[in-house]
């Protein structure tokens, strides 16, 4: 008979996520995870599997709580406003990130995904979901007259995704409002000025 867990799983996952997010996958040791979660290495492995499985669980939570939730919230807004709000929130999160941790998904894309097919899939799927969000808003905005761009929705969605990823990388080194807003403004200008 399995013994009941004597820890709060959400708190442990939050602590593990902070380790991975701050130090990266390779920079996070079992010892560091134990110190930050308060669990022994054996307890961590028994509860969550190996380090890779724990990282995957924390990354999945980050994607659900941050990216998927932001997309769902922004999709309740009018199309052009949804895109503007999405970028405004990412800029603010970047400015509020005093530790310069960046986006955990983009960090995974740069560190672990190039060498791990499972993480390549997680990262690619999430990036595709963000691109699809932009595409849906552009199509809807063209239909309601709030987006006047002549470029295709596919090309614009890909461009916005590229701007987003680049901005998240730069924000780790230079989290400056003028820089981040200056990166986003020309991309949003491509959407055109709505008809009066």
User: Could you give the CA distance from residue 67 to residue 127 in angstroms, rounded to a whole number?
Assistant: 10
Tokens of 154: 């596919």
The structural domains of the chain, with segments of one domain joined by +, span: 9-189
Report the chain's C-alpha Rg in angstroms: 19
pTM beyond 0.85, yes or no = yes
CA 164 from chain centre, in angstroms, equals 10
Q: Which positions ≥6 away from 124 have C-beta within 8 Å?
A: 113
Q: Which is more confidently placed, 130 or 19?
A: 130
Tokens of 168: 């998240």
CATH 3.40.50.1820 fits 9-189, yes or no: no
Which pLDDT tens digit goes with each residue over 105-146? 999 999 999 999 999 999 999 999 999 999 999 999 999 999
For residues 3-31, one letter each, b for 16 or more C-beta atoms within 10 angstroms of the residue's C-beta and e for the rest, the string is eeeeeeeeebbebbbbbbbbebbeebeee
The predicted structure's pLDDT at residue 90: 97
The predicted structure's pLDDT at residue 60: 95
| pLDDT average, residue stretch 3-9 | 66
User: Could you give the CA distance from residue 69 to residue 72 in angstroms, rounded to a whole number?
Assistant: 5
User: Could you give the CA distance from residue 50 to residue 161 in angstroms, rounded to a whole number?
Assistant: 32
**Which residue in the block uniquely carries the two structure tokens 């603010």?**
92
Task: Evaluate if residue 1 carries a pLDDT over 50.
Answer: no
Which pLDDT tens digit goes with each residue over 56-70? 999 999 999 999 999
The predicted structure's pLDDT at residue 61: 94
């Amino acid at each position: 008979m399995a013994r009941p867990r004597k820890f709060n799983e959400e708190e442990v996952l939050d602590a593990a996520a902070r380790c991975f997010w701050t130090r990266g996958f390779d920079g996070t040791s079992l010892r560091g995870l134990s110190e930050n979660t308060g669990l022994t290495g054996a307890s961590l492995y028994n509860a969550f599997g190996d380090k890779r499985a724990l990282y995957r669980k924390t990354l999945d939570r980050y994607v659900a709580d941050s990216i998927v939730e932001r997309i769902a919230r922004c999709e309740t807004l009018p199309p052009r406003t949804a895109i503007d709000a999405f970028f405004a929130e990412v800029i603010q999160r970047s400015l509020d990130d005093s530790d310069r941790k960046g986006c955990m998904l983009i960090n995974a894309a740069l560190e672990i995904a190039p060498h791990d097919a499972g993480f390549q899939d997680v990262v690619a799927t999430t990036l595709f979901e963000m691109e699809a969000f932009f595409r849906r808003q552009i199509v809807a905005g063209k239909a309601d007259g709030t987006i006047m761009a002549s470029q295709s929705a596919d090309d614009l969605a890909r461009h916005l995704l590229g701007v987003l990823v680049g901005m998240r990388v730069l924000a780790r080194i230079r989290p400056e409002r003028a820089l981040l807003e200056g990166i986003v403004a020309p991309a949003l200008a491509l959407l055109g000025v709505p008809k009066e």
